[in-house]
Amino acid sequence: MKTIVVASGNAHKIAEIKTFFPHDTLLSMKEIGFTDEIVEDGTTFVENALIKARAIHDFLQKQGKEYLVLADDSGLCVNALGGKPGILSARYSGEHGNDQKNREKILTEMQGQTERTAFFSCCMVEVFPEGQYLIWEGKVMGTILEQEEGEWWFWYDPIFYCDELGKSFGVATAEEKNSVSHRARAIQNLLEQEKKNR
């Protein structure tokens, strides 16, 4: 059993990650007493994930705690918009964390577009107490719907139609989404590597 700190304050994200580590103890930033603001000024998902992971790692080192750290950065990349919102996914509308306005901006910009392919991308970083780190990535392909659907109003899920599921993330169950999601795939790549290293 390991103690892992997830570099996030997003309860939904932490709950999703916990499903992949049933035998480990997962802690949020709040639970370890981390209250500083992390400035994610990287230009890629990898850079931003590393910024978050290192901030938590350094905080734990000062407290003398030998915990693993998991951090991820992820986003929606729409091909017709040149890959946007990308790393700006959480604040695309100008208001950080306003999922509804972020979705509305995408739908407005996509009006009249016939090329609607898109993908979710996730970069997952694991930092060990000694400071070494490993990086994994995951993607899921799909298309942007013309309007929101479903009752699952998290992030861009209601406007993202997943090719593999044959339905939008807005109507998919948590189990269905976790079977194909970008974050799930990044974590699965991590877990597969851990098995090989045992």
Tokens representing 53 are 């992971």
Query: Can 24 be counted among the known catalytic residues?
Result: no
Cβ proximity of 86 and 80 under 8 Å:
no
Distances (CA, A) of 8 to 2, 70, 73, 157, 163: 18, 9, 10, 19, 28
Q: Tell which residue, 8, 6, 9, 12, has the closest CA to residue 169.
A: 12
Tokens of 36: 């500083």
* CA 45, chain centre distance (Å): 9
Instruction: Select from 121, 118, 113, 98 the least CA-distant residue to 146.
Output: 113
Query: In 117-173, which residue ranges form alpha helices assigned H by DSSP?
Result: none
Catalytic residue among 24, 36, 73, 157: 73
For residues 26 and 69, give the distance between their C-alpha atoms in angstroms, rounded to a whole number.
Answer: 10
Catalytic residue list? 73
